[in-house]
A and B are shown apart, each in its own frame.
Chain A
Amino acid sequence: MSLTLDDIKRVANLACIETSETEATNALIHLSDIFNLIEQMQAVDTSSVNPMSHSQDLVQRLRDDMVTESDQRELFQSIAPKTDSGLYLVPKVLE
């Protein structure tokens, strides 16, 4: 599978990363290298190997359903750019 410049621009757009033409072209070269490596790996026959979703062969530890956090709003909001009536304020968004 080969990557196109359009793919790069689309992914950059989805990730909300502004990219210039040169940056996009550079990214295309880097990502294509990675894709080539993936292609090389995909040539290996793995039909007898179970797929893993995580690099470590461990299982998830669970926590008991208990409230352990207290209200630290004031502390958290002390580093927020703008707040009002306990709300974080962000530039206006409407879908």
Chain B
Amino acid sequence: MQWEIVIGLEVHTQLSTQSKIFSGAPTRFGAAPNAQACAVDIALPGVLPVLNHGAVERAIRFGLSVGAKINSPSIFARKNYFYPDLPKGYQISQYELPVVAGGSVKIQVGGAGNQYEKTIRLTRAHLEEDAGKSLHEDFQGMTGIDLNRAGTPLLEIVSEPDMRSSDEAVAFAKSLHSLVRWIDICDGNMQEGSFRCDANVSVRLLGSDRLGTRCEIKNLNSFRFLEKAINYEARRQIEILEDGGTIRQETRLYDSDKNETRTMRSKEDAQDYRYFPDPDLLPLAISEDWINHVRTMLPQLPEVRRSNYITEYGLSSYDAGVLTSSKEMASYFERTVELLPAQAKLCANWIMSEVNGRLHKESLDIAQCPVTPAQLSLLLLRVSDGTISGKTAKDVFDAMWRIECNGDADLIIESKGLKQISDMSEIEKLIDDILAANPQQVSDYHSGKEKAFNSLVGQAMKATKGKANPSQVNDLLKKKLAG
């Protein structure tokens, strides 16, 4: 039997406002417990919520960047449930008329070579407040409550069940992650919980047009866990169905230590949230003027940038995708290529492999890269004009990374004597010496042993300490051996 996996995602993005969504308390991460929880956040009697302009504006920014409809009026609702980290006994959220309705996100799935594009539709995105945090470690046999996070603005983005594999789900989550950072509405810090995913997973026989019973997997805070949790969950459901069982609709938790999902609560004891419009909050009106103002402030979107890279610089779809994964990355690439416009592909390759690899190894962000775009472009100029080989360039880059000679490629090449020998007569003399010193290899070559040739090239490169142009050495050697 051939099964198809159907996935929809709900993504909670923490909006990057200074203050909370309904109070003037700060949202800074890492403060002492309850030092950022004011009377509104801890729900003292008599307090009233006042909506944060910055939170609404960020929601509009998102809506416009995914081509969604901005609802006006938009309504806030109470979602009722009891938990000690929710002091009001309800969460202010949106039910009917969320700020953002519809829209879509284009994703690129797969690696270089086998990449395809897909459009994922969004159902909605609504504003809501975050809850506090419960600490279940032992506090005199009790639970500790920190309400600093209570009232932090969230935009919950809900997709349609348009994804058919964990790869597509991860590509979608990554696309959203890059988009919300690109348009500056969320810092995207997953360790700090600024971007968390819930996945709705079901399976059905390939070709069927009816959706299977779904399970919701909660609180996946890394792309790797998202992928693993979906794969595990799909396998679990398929096994049950193939054994003739049925799937129970339930909420499940992913345990990353055991790589499995397990029941958190089933549908029978699922909460009835009894949503109703919050009488403390009047309808939110969003004027056309406001929307237009936000639209004019929006940066050029990654999707547009990506297709520019493909048409203007001739980059592959995959490369263009990697280079537009963040605004900082795109800006680094553009500032490098600006100084070396004829070598866009070389710049792209270097940034994706050498620069990115090194940043990754040292857990640095591109904004913290010790090699500036101008310095990198000088290095790449020296590769393209033949001053140094690509291999030597990696050594120079290494020195630049350590900020030797102020990161100046020319000075490093000079001081280390790395300049490629382009003087033919010098190389010729070297090769003559090597041929004279290795009669055995020469005769081996003439009797058809390819290996002997490689050994001679190796010796020539060694003799020049890698400074000879390998293709020149190759050509010259062949010529000499033939002649």
Q: Which residues of A contact B (CB under 8 A)?
A: 14-16, 52-56, 58-69, 71-73, 76-77, 82, 84-95
Contacts and interface: CB of A to CB of B under 8 A. Distances in A.
The number of chain B residues touching the other chain, given as a range, is: 35 or more
Contact of A92 (B34, B44, B141, B272): B141
Contact of A67 (B19, B42, B84): B19
A53 B37 contact: no
Contacts of A58: 282
Contact of A65 (B17, B80, B285): B17
A71 to B, nearest CB: 5
Nearest to A95: B264
A53 B19 contact: no
Given A65-B53, A69-B24, A76-B42, A87 B146 contact: yes
A64 B53 CA distance: 5
Given A76-B34, A87-B135, A88-B34, A53 B24 contact: no
* Interface residue SS majority, chain A: loop
Given A53-B283, A61-B282, 14 more contacts: A53-B97, A54-B283, A60-B284, A60-B285, A73-B34, A76-B42, A86-B33, A88-B34, A88-B144, A89-B140, A91-B143, A92-B142, A92-B143, A93-B143
A73 B35 contact: yes
Given A62-B51, A66-B18, A66-B24, A87 B34 contact: yes
A71 B36 contact: yes
Contacts of A85: 33, 139, 144
B18 A67 contact: yes
B11 interface: no
Contacts of B193: none
A15 to B, nearest CB: 8
Nearest to B132: A88
Interface stretch (B208-216, B273-281, B320-328): B273-281
In this complex, the member of B33, B44, B75, B281 whose beta carbon has the largest number of chain A beta carbons within 10 angstroms is B33
30 contacts: A14-B80, A15-B80, A53-B73, A54-B282, A54-B283, A60-B282, A61-B282, A62-B51, A62-B52, A62-B53, A63-B51, A65-B53, A66-B19, A67-B19, A69-B24, A71-B35, A71-B36, A73-B32, A76-B42, A84-B140, A85-B33, A85-B139, A86-B32, A86-B33, A86-B34, A87-B144, A88-B34, A89-B144, A92-B142, A93-B143
